[in-house]
Amino acid sequence: MIEKKISVAVIKRLPRYYRYLGDLLENDVVRISSKELSKKMDVTASQIRQDLNNFGGFGQQGYGYNVEYLYHEIGKILGLERKHKLIIVGAGNLGQALANYTDFEKRGFIIEGIFDVNPRLVGMTVRGIEIKDIGEMEKLVLNGDIDIAVLTIPKQKAVKIGNDLINWGIRGIWNFAPIDLKLKLSSDVVIENVHLSDSLMTLSYNISCKE
C-alpha cells in the first residue's frame, strides 16, 4: 500500500514525473534507472530517489524503476485511477481547444457538456459533443455527478458562475478566466487558476534579463 503522508513539495512534482513516465511507457520502456530519468528530467538522481521512495521501495539497485508500475502508482496518488466528469463553460476558442485535447480524456477526464451564452455557438458540436445554452447547465450539474467545471469565460462572469456551480455541487473548478477565483471559502471546492498572462510576463522578464 502507498504511504499517504507525502510532502507538498513532492506532490507538486508528481504531474511532471507522471508525464515523463507516460512518455517512457509510450516508447515501450520497461524500466529506467534514477540516473537515466535524472538526465531526461534535469533534476538530480538523488532528488528522484528521495521523491520516489515515498511510493515504497520498488526502485531496486541495479534494476531501477519499473516504469508501468510507477506510472500507475503516481496516477493513483493524483486521483487518476477514477474517471472525472467535466463540463466546459465557455465554448470560445479556448474552450474548444480544451475540448479537442484528447490527452485529457486518455487520463480519465471525460467531457459531459459544453455550454455557452452565444446563440451562434449553441447547437454546434465539438468532438461529437453538442454545445448547449448555459441555461441548461444547472440541470446537468445537479443531476449528472459532474466533478469539474472548466471556466473559459470572461473574468466579469467568472465569480457569479463559479458561485452558481458551487451551489449546484461542483467539486473542482479549473479556471482560465484572468482572475484569482476566491469563492465561498467554507466550501470544499478546489480551485486551480491558470494564469496564461503571468506565464507570458515571466517569459518577457527572462528575455529582458538576457539583454
**Binding stretches for a copy of itself (CB under 8 A):** 11-12, 14-16, 18-19, 23, 41-42, 77-80, 84, 92-94, 96-98, 100-101, 103-104, 107, 109, 147-148, 171-172, 174, 178-180, 182, 188, 190, 192, 194-208, 210
Q: Mention every residue, 6+ apart, whose C-beta is less than 8 A from residue 16.
A: 41
Question: What dihedral do alpha carbons 111, 112, 118, 122 form, nearest 10°?
Answer: 110
- Identity of the residue, 63 or 101, whose beta carbon is nearer to a copy of itself in the bound complex: 101
What would the grid cell of residue 118 be? 452565444
Minimum gap (Å) between residue 109 Cβ and a copy of itself:
6
DSSP 87: E
Which is nearer to a copy of itself, 28 or 62 (by Cβ)? 28
Q: Between residues 135 and 192, which has the closer beta carbon with respect to a copy of itself? A: 192
What is the nearest approach in angstroms of a copy of itself to the Cβ of residue 135?
24
- Torsion sign, CA atoms 176, 145, 15, 28: negative
Specify the residue, 61 or 210, whose C-beta has the smaller distance to a copy of itself: 210
Rg of the chain over all Cα atoms, to the nearest angstrom: 20
Q: Tell me the β-bridge partners of 131.
A: 114
CB of 60 to a copy of itself, least distance (A): 27
Strand partners of residue 116: 133
Closest approach, Cβ 34 to a copy of itself, in A, equals 18
